[in-house]
Each structure stands twice: as structure tokens, then as C-alpha cells.
Structure 1
């Protein structure tokens, strides 16, 4: 067994390799989750630590301090004994009190290792719920007159970053700049034809939806979606999602998953997805040490 540590974005493809190889509907993470989180946060991820475990040449586990004191991990279910090794690494690598981890409720080998190390479920904490949709029968996307649906071009990095900021600066200003969006758009398996926007008459993007396709499993992850605050309540979130889902079907996808908050602390996102036809499935669990 060999373990390699990385900082920043390094190690992403190894993480995606394992995530794709063992993926099923009972997995918490899709390879698109890793592509988005590590590329979108590349500018502030220099100190984030990652460990990857290999048996011969095959990746069998990885761990990522996605933020200080918080663990994301994937362990091959065929090697459940490695989950304890990953948790031990996390406790040694993380700084400060309040260590936390998140798993999907079906990832029992991860849950058992965390609980054996003293982590306890926080059932009153915010959580996320996988929502699923088949691409067989999609509604038609419609936008108001003067607005246009289309996919992004590879040279539109600045405009794509701008619409993300416009949609995600409600609570605090978004840090998504042109460099970070460039990282997103150059990270596998990004495809511009699966990155859809609503464009106004002035040529500004006012809503967006990005889908990451896992070709092996024919499943797309919707992440992220946003509508500029001045253009909300016009059905643009539904329309841009549906347009991206149609494109996913044309690219060979058969279904899609999205992971909004499942608790009532932030119900707006799941209401949007359910209005399109997504239906809830498994939920995440949040655990704290002690």
C-alpha cells in the first residue's frame, strides 16, 4: 500500500479515477463534484491537504480536507478496512478543534470507521439530498421574450464568471473571478455544450446551469445553477436547467442527479429541482468528533 499527499488541486484525477470506478446511485460523490469543488476553489485551496492510497497502481482510497477540519473521503467498498486508515490520517492532518466529516447514509463502511473513532451523527445539522431525474420525458424550456437560451463558448470565460458572481453574491460577494472560472472550464470532464446560460438583449448572461457528464455511467451531475438576482422569479432557473438536461441527453446521458439542501433551512433549491421533475433519494449525514 502506498500513500501520497498533495496540496491544492493536485491529485484530482486520482480522486476522480476511484470515484468513477466505484460509483453507484448509493455513492455520495460524482466525479463532477470533485471537478467543480477543486477547480472553482483553486485560488484558495493551496493549503488544503489531500491523501491518496494505492494498492499497486490502483487507487483504493482518498481523503480531502475540503476546508479546515472537515473531511471528504472515498474508500473502495471492497476494501472497507482502509476507512479506519483514512480517518486516522484525517485526525493527524487536521488543525484545530471541531473536526467534522460528511458521508451518504448508504456509505456504511465510512460511517462505521468514523463512529469507531469517536465521531457522532448530528441529526439536527443541515444536510443534502440526492435528487434524480430520468431524461426520457423532459418539459420544454421556455424563456420570456428578449432572452435567449444557449450554451457557453470556450472564449466566454469572463462572462461566465460574471453570471456566477451575479447569482451567488446574496449573502457575501462571490470570489469567482476569471482565473477561477478558467480553471473550471479547463478541468475534465467540463464540456461547453453542457454549460448553459440565459442571455439578455445586451449580451449579458443572467442565468446558468452546468452539467458534468460521467460517460461510463451515463449520469450527469448538475452543479452549479444560478440566476442573477434582478432576473429571478421569471422561470429562468427551470428553463436553463431543462436546456442543459436536453443537452445532456444528446450527449448520451440517461439520467441526472443534483444535491440541494434537504432540510428546511434552505428549501428554495430543492423546490426548483422538484418543479422540473427531480425526485428526492438518499441524504447525507454530518458527523462531529466527540
Structure 2
């Protein structure tokens, strides 16, 4: 069976379409990655050095059946068709031969048993002291209505508002140091499938500035939206804007044909605020990620 499988390596951002093809075809609630995860991470980091960002894709004929991504020099993300579970071992072998980090690590969802088995067979073990993420789910039936204080407006982004969209992201994500996301990075995000401006919601103040945002990526095939990312400018926090902009985006997702949504906040107690926000509007926790180290 394996003799028919061909591998292609990429450096830099190439390979996104192949990765999304496999994620969409094999997605289930037991999958770690939604096609929006791949779209966001690859597009927002598209200018990353090719030398430090490698991807391998395995095909059986025309079908993508596995891929591995060194999202950091020593860290692996992978997707393998569960019907071709034997290829997980092949991906891990490629990772060990290709990675150059000081200690090799990988991340999977606890329900991805075929990936977990391949990593454990190669000598990787769980690091339960590491931060982890928990998939949270919400049905789009019976959503609360979003409300913002007087003087603020909820609306979706327009395609020509790249600079304002980039500015609110940087404001929200610069608490621990300046965000590296440039306007060019945001333009790349907003031109990457399946981005839709009508699913990218913001709170706008009276001066026309965006002060909170929530982006949803819709997988039409499975009718599931991924919320990624969400943020609020520090000066506007604790006013309910995070909840409001999320709810507005979820209503738009339902209008676009979505039936449920998933979001993946930290599950450990190192950063509980995001988890509390999502649970306050109806998201409920499901499976968690696992961090594995070699040796």
C-alpha cells in the first residue's frame, strides 16, 4: 500500500491548499485542526523564514492522505487520514529526520488516537505540565442577542479595511509584548480562503476605530465555524465587548449556513480569562490537546 504514496516537501507558506484539502475531507469533532486553523496560522505567518518552516505532504494518487508541519523548528503538527493510520509513523519519521530544535515536541488532540499511537511508539511522552487547549463547542440555536454600550457599533469588516483590522488585532495582542502582525500580514489573512468579511466582526467606536474583533472561519462541508482569533483593545475591556462581538459573529455564522461553532482557548489555569468568556456565552468544553516530548 505504501509504495503508491508520494511525498512532496515545501519550504515556507506553500502547501496550504493541500493541507486544507485533507483537513476538510477528514474533519470530525475528534480532529484537532479545523481548516480555519490552517488558514489563519499559515496566512498570518506567511512571511516567516522558509528555512524555519517546513511542510511535507503525502499523496496516494490525487488524494492528500497525510501531512506534517514544522510550525517551529522542533515542533510538529500533523493530520493523517484515519483510514491511512499507518502513515502517522511515516510523518513522525520525517519529523525526526527534519527537525532541528533543541528538544522535539508534538501536539495532538487526545481523541486523535492514531497520531498519539505513532508518537508514543517513537518515544514521545506526555508533558502534563505544559499549557494545553480545550475545544469548546456551541450550537447556534438559541443564541443570545449581542449588546454594546451607547456610542459603540457592531458590524462586519469590509474588504478594504485592512489597516483598521490590523490595528485592532495588534492592540488586543500586545499585552506581553508588541504584536508582530503587520498590515501586510492581515491583508494576507483577508485574502486567504475561506476568509469572509461578513464573518469578521468588530466593535467600532465613535471615532471610527475598531476596538474589539472576532473572526470566524466556516467549513461549509461540515457546517462548522472556527472562532479564531478574538481580541479587545485594553482600554475597552470589562465592558462586555468580547461577548458581544463573539455573539454577533456567531449570528452571522448561522445566517451563512453554520450549525455549530468551535473555539480553542487555554484549558489550564495559566490563562483562564478566555475560557471564562466563551463559557459565559454558551460554549461548553470538550476534548483537550496533549503536548508530547521526545525522550
User: What TM-score, normalized to structure 2?
Assistant: 0.97
Measure the CA separation in 2 of the matches of 1:167 and 1:285. Answer: 27
Aligned residue for 2:278?
Answer: 273
Spell out, residue by residue over 1:142-169, the C-alpha distance to the aligned partner (whole angstroms, 9 max, x if none).
0000000000000000000000000000
Following superposition, the deviation at residue 125 of structure 1 comes to: 1.3
Aligned residue for 1:72?
Answer: 77
Q: Please state whether the residue corresponding to 1:42 is helix, strand or coil.
A: coil
Aligned residue for 2:142?
Answer: 137
> What pairs with 1:54-65 in structure 2 (closer than 5 Å)?
54-65=59-70
Q: Please state whether the residue corresponding to 2:84 is helix, strand or coil.
A: coil
Following superposition, the deviation at residue 96 of structure 1 comes to: 3.0
Measure the CA separation in 2 of the matches of 1:122 and 1:163. Answer: 34
Aligned residue for 2:24?
Answer: 20
For structure 2, the residue ranges without an aligned partner over 5 or more in a row are none
Q: Does 1:237 align with 2:242?
A: yes
Measure the CA separation in 1 of the matches of 2:15 and 2:68. Answer: 10
For structure 1, the residue ranges without an aligned partner over 5 or more in a row are none
Spell out, residue by residue over 1:195-219, the C-alpha distance to the aligned partner (whole angstroms, 9 max, x if none).
0000000000000000000000000
Q: Please state whether the residue corresponding to 1:43 is helix, strand or coil.
A: coil
User: What TM-score, normalized to structure 1?
Assistant: 0.99
Q: Which runs of 4+ in 1 moved over 2 A?
A: none
Measure the CA separation in 1 of the matches of 2:102 and 2:125. Answer: 15
Spell out, residue by residue over 1:68-125, the C-alpha distance to the aligned partner (whole angstroms, 9 max, x if none).
2000000000011100000000001100321000000011111111011110101121
- Count of residues in correspondence between the two structures: 290
Kindly report the root-mean-square deviation, in angstroms, between the aligned alpha carbons of the 2 structures: 0.6
Measure the CA separation in 1 of the matches of 2:130 and 2:94. Answer: 25
